[in-house]
Amino acid sequence: MKRLSWSEAGAAERRAALRRPALSEVPERAARVAAIMDCVRREGDAAVLRWTEELDGVKPESLEVSREDIDRAWSGLDAALRAVMTVAAERISKFHELQKPLEIRLDFGDGTVLRRKPVALSSVGLYAPAGSAPLPSTVLMTAIPAAIAGCPLKSLAAPPGPDGKIASAILAAARLCGIDRVFRMGGAQAIAAMAYGTETVPKADKIFGPGNAWVAEAKRLAAQDPGGAAADMPAGPSEVMVVVDAESDPEFAAADLLSQAEHGADSQAVLVALDAGAAGAVDEAVLRQIEGLPRRKIAERALSKSLCVLVDDEDAALEVIEAYAPEHLLLQSSGARALSERVRSAGSVFVGPYSPEAAGDYCAGTNHVLPTYGAARSFSGLGVESFMRWISFQESTPAGLEAIADPTEVLASCEGLEGHRRAVAIRRASSPVRKARR
């Protein structure tokens, strides 16, 4: 693990050390994704099936999974897995229920009343990627807040396996969360189908969920197209930052770094140490633990780009945190709770030695769909509000309009918008309030 002394490094060296590797931009992939998107937009279901056969080597009998198949997946799921999935769903639901926003109302008392009302998105598209194993947790993390928000139509896309079917765990999670429709499709063609709609797939207002570079590019293109669909957040490799001191358990910190590194070779792992001895102990623990890791080669590739930042105190640790804005921030130093209250730029914060990222990924109750690649400075992790939009309302009586008419006309004239000024003046001329004053 490369080391950097924060106090000894200059500003340029600090920036260079914390700079994430450039996202690989492959012109051929970008062009291919654009072609797939255009093809699906023009040809609908036929294009989705054709690209699924060409790219995934499988041609499903139909795009949509029947309700009977979804119910069968739930009833046939291993009882132990069904039980823990239910526990996770209950905890996620309980935390996200508290996030439901309330309408706000302000009565100025002069005849004008203002309101701001939360409204659920009408149609949302959820994506569950398929890697070396199914990810039912991603279904829970996207579908549960969508249901709590009150979205009328929730569609899920998941890539079919070699047998043309979606993994039973994914279908079971969809059943548990009350997803309305499930489709056998993945990659850019799935994003295109949800963004534009097809004969079978309903058009989504917004698309949620992680995916590979093809999916990320498709979501980006869909969000840029006025006829497409919005996307949840910018996507990049998953990442973790762990803060330790002399009191921290190095085995815990090492396990957390490895749990992130095994995600993929492009995963980012950063250790912030308030004590050089603690940094060394974590290094040694990583070497011990990686020996028995099934995804060792992947983790080793990720850790080859990892960084250890040595800091003098928690103020310096906070500087590193804010400069990096990590997706996952694990605070395992003795002052973890106090430090957590000062953090402003992180996707999700795990406070104390017994708050591993893995728990947040599955069962703690917080959401694991989080901003990466520094986007935590300006984006939030997924929540109920992600599936909603706000509408403002204003209602004025003649007296209410009269109370704000003069400043409104002056500001309109200042900006050279005579039509705006007249829209107020014409109403004032016929207002019963004006007539009563005459």
- What CATH number did the domain enclosing 54 receive? 3.40.50.1980
Single-letter amino acid, residue 180: D
Q: Report how many domains make up the chain.
A: 3
Tell me which residues are annotated as active site. Answer: 327-328
What is the model's pLDDT at position 25? 61
Domain final position from 337, 355, 380: 380
Judged by DSSP in three states, 40 sits in helix
Q: What is the DSSP letter of 385?
A: G
Residues 224 and 240 in one domain: no
Residue 340 resides in a domain: yes
Question: What is the pLDDT, as a whole number, of residue 437?
Answer: 67
Question: For the chain, which ranges sit under pLDDT 50?
Answer: none
Quick check: is 18 in a domain?
no
In terms of domains, do 215 and 277 share one? no
Q: For residue 10, tell me if it sits in a domain.
A: no
Same domain membership, residue 36 and residue 178: yes
On whether both 176 and 241 belong to a single domain, the answer is: no
In a domain, 1, yes or no: no
User: Max CA-CA distance within the chain?
Assistant: 91
Asked if residue 148 and residue 88 are part of one domain, the reply reads yes
Per-residue confidence (pLDDT) for residue 133, from 0 to 100: 76
CA dist 156 and 166 (Å) reads 11
Indicate whether 421 belongs to any domain. Answer: yes
The answer on 341 and 310 residing in a single domain is yes
Place of tokens 């989705």: 48
Q: What's this model's pTM, rounded to 2 decimal places?
A: 0.93
The pLDDT value recorded for residue 13 is: 96
3-state SS, residue 65: coil
For residue 434 the two structure tokens come to: 């004006």
Q: Where are the alpha helices (DSSP H) in 273-397?
A: 276-290, 296-303, 314-324, 336-340, 357-362
pLDDT tens across 133-157, in order? 789 999 999 999 999 999 999 999 9
How buried is residue 305: exposed, middle or buried, by Cβ count under 10 Å (0-12/13-18/19+)?
middle
* Claim to verify: residue 195 and residue 256 sit in the same structural domain: no
Residue 431 structural domain: 397-437
- The pLDDT assigned to 23 comes to 66
* Contact assessment for residue 402 and residue 434, using Cβ atoms and an 8 Å cutoff: yes
